[in-house]
Amino acid sequence: MTQAKLYKIVNNQAHCQLCNHYCQIGNESFGACGVRYFKNNQLSALTYGRPTSLGIDPIEKKPLYHFLPGSLAYSLGTWGCNFHCHNCQNWQMSQTRQLLEDENIKYISPEQIIKQALKHNCQSIAYTYNEPTIFFEYALAIMELAHQAGLKNVWVSNGYMSPECRQQILPYLDAINIDLKFFNDELYLKICGAKLAPILENIKFFHAQGVRLELTTLLIPELIEQSQIKQIIKFIKNIDTNIPWHVSRFFPDISWQLADFQTTPLDLLKKTYETAKQAGLRYVYLGNYDDSQYNSTYCPNCQSLMIQRKGYDIKCFDNHGNCAKCKTNLNLIIKS
């Protein structure tokens, strides 16, 4: 087992500093994520070198619409999560925890990940499918090699990493999509087992540090009221109206524990889109909804179509990240 980073031994316990849970883990016990295990005065990272999912995805699938549009990302994830979101749609991976050994999970080194990414002409590596914070040691080793190889690093995250963790990944992190699930601390605690404030802090931090940032909100009708939607819009607007916001449709039949909830009505999805645009957010997209109108990028100044998205068929009409008609900057990082 690989020794974990970011912890201290205090009174025969491991005080983990990886995420904002700051778990205190006793001997032969696991952290909240289920993948950090303390025994014999050592905290081990059980996920190191043991991805449960590997794939080649369009970068738009993360979703990232303003970072290397039309490119491929070599994607990996492990098992476990520091959240227990009732609405999780990858729960078979994220809620599988406390596995010490599994012979079916093959060891894959960071060097092998880089080799495969380059082989398949990917421009980035995406740490996704489950929360990358909980496989931080593995991710960091890959991220360092990725930059050496000319690859970008992308996290798809719940945004609950600790300040200690974010400082370590910052030199190697190029883009991040953070789930802003609710704007209500009580709901975050009830549905996810976490707090809202650290997520808001991390969103502000990564934006201030120049990491390409996009946000995603899964619109669950029974949980997110209009007041929350307006608070989220105001929060984004106060940081930067150029931050892309993905509002995704919820499907209960693939969720972990919300099977009796309703699918997000299309009129609510579209109303949220219009509300955000009218409030001044420049780039709003509707996820889990196959409609090019709501997934394409338009110039915020002249409204000309600049990136057309039909599923994962991407056509770019921009001029090197600027509007081809009025020259407005479109807040894009384009492919090399």
- How do residues 165-180 score in pLDDT, each as one tens digit? 999 999 999 999 999 9
- In angstroms, the CA 75 to CA 27 distance is 34
Give the burial string for 78-93 (b: 16+ CB within 10 Å, else e). Answer: bbbbbbbbbbbbbbeb
Chain segment 132-168, per-residue pLDDT in tens: 999 999 999 999 999 999 999 999 999 999 999 999 9
177 neighbors 157 (Cβ within 8 angstroms) = yes
Quick one: DSSP state of residue 169? H
pLDDT higher than 70, residue 201:
yes
List the beta strands (DSSP E) in 121-242.
124-127, 152-157, 175-179, 212-219
Report the share of the chain in percent with pLDDT over 90.
Answer: 90
- In angstroms, the CA 232 to CA 83 distance is 20
The sign of the CA dihedral 53, 54, 55, 60 is: positive
Instruction: Provide the pLDDT for residue 17.
Output: 98
Chain segment 85-137, per-residue pLDDT in tens: 999 988 888 887 666 666 567 899 999 999 999 999 999 999 999 999 999 99
- The separation between CA 118 and the C-alpha centre of its own chain, rounded to angstroms, equals 22
Residue 158, judged by CB atoms within 10 A of its CB (0-12, 13-18, 19+), counts as: buried
CA gyration radius, the chain: 20
Instruction: Provide the pLDDT for residue 199.
Output: 98
- In angstroms, the CA 209 to CA 205 distance is 6
Averaged over 303-327, what is the pLDDT?
96
Type of residue numbered 74: Y
126 neighbors 62 (Cβ within 8 angstroms) = yes
pLDDT higher than 70, residue 10:
yes
Domain ranges across the chain: 2-45, 53-283, 296-336
Q: Is 228 left (phi over 0), alpha (psi -120 to 50) or beta?
A: alpha
pTM equals 0.96
53-283 is classed CATH 3.20.20.70: yes
- In angstroms, the CA 240 to CA 132 distance is 25
- In angstroms, the CA 160 to CA 172 distance is 18
- In angstroms, the CA 257 to CA 250 distance is 13
Angstrom distances, CA of residue 66 to CA of 16, 91, 152, 168, 212: 34, 28, 14, 24, 8
Chain segment 37-52, per-residue pLDDT in tens: 999 999 999 999 999 9
Would you call the peptide bond into 300 cis, given omega within 30 degrees of 0 as the criterion? no
